[in-house]
Amino acid sequence: MLNRAALIVRPAKPFMDWAKSLDDSDVLPDVDGEQTVYLIPEFEDDEEAKSVLRRVCGEVFARTLNAWHTDQTAWPKDRSLKIFKDWFTIEMHTLIEDVVAQPLEDDERC
């Protein structure tokens, strides 16, 4: 068991509209496809979950936008929790079990 929870965000209509507005290729994120799973701090109840979401939404919002379009000038100026909730369908999971024998490694750490 890991001392983390998981956050999964799936693009909602405002995100899809933004992605479509970037070019006319008709290449869009797959709402039902594989999504990034973000490890976030543990939480015990709904109030703690809300607090954790408030703390991590800016980082997750930026990472999700950056994964689609790296030019930050094209990102929405308002990336508040309210907009985050409008732009994404959010799943939060508290039970994370590690079934791999090797230790966790951070691929981005030098």
State pLDDT tens for residues 95-110: 988 898 888 887 776 5
- pLDDT score of 97: 87
At residue 8, the 3 state secondary structure works out as: strand
- pLDDT score of 109: 64
24 has pLDDT over 80: no
C-alpha 88/C-alpha 79 separation (Å) is 12
Q: Kindly state the percentage of the chain with pLDDT values over 90.
A: 68
Residue in 69, 56, 61, 64 with CA at minimum distance from that of residue 27: 69
The pTM score is 0.85
C-alpha 90/C-alpha 36 separation (Å) is 12
Q: Where are the domains of the chain?
A: 4-93
Region 7-26 average pLDDT? 90
C-alpha 31/C-alpha 89 separation (Å) is 10
Region 87-99 average pLDDT? 93
Mean pLDDT of the chain: 91
Burial-class residue 48 by CB neighbours within 10 Å (0-12, 13-18, 19+): middle
Dihedral sign, CA of 44, 49, 55, 57?
positive
The kind and range of the H/E element at 70 are none
Q: Where is average pLDDT lowest: 7-11, 27-31, 85-89? A: 27-31
Of residues 37 and 98, the one with the higher pLDDT is: 37
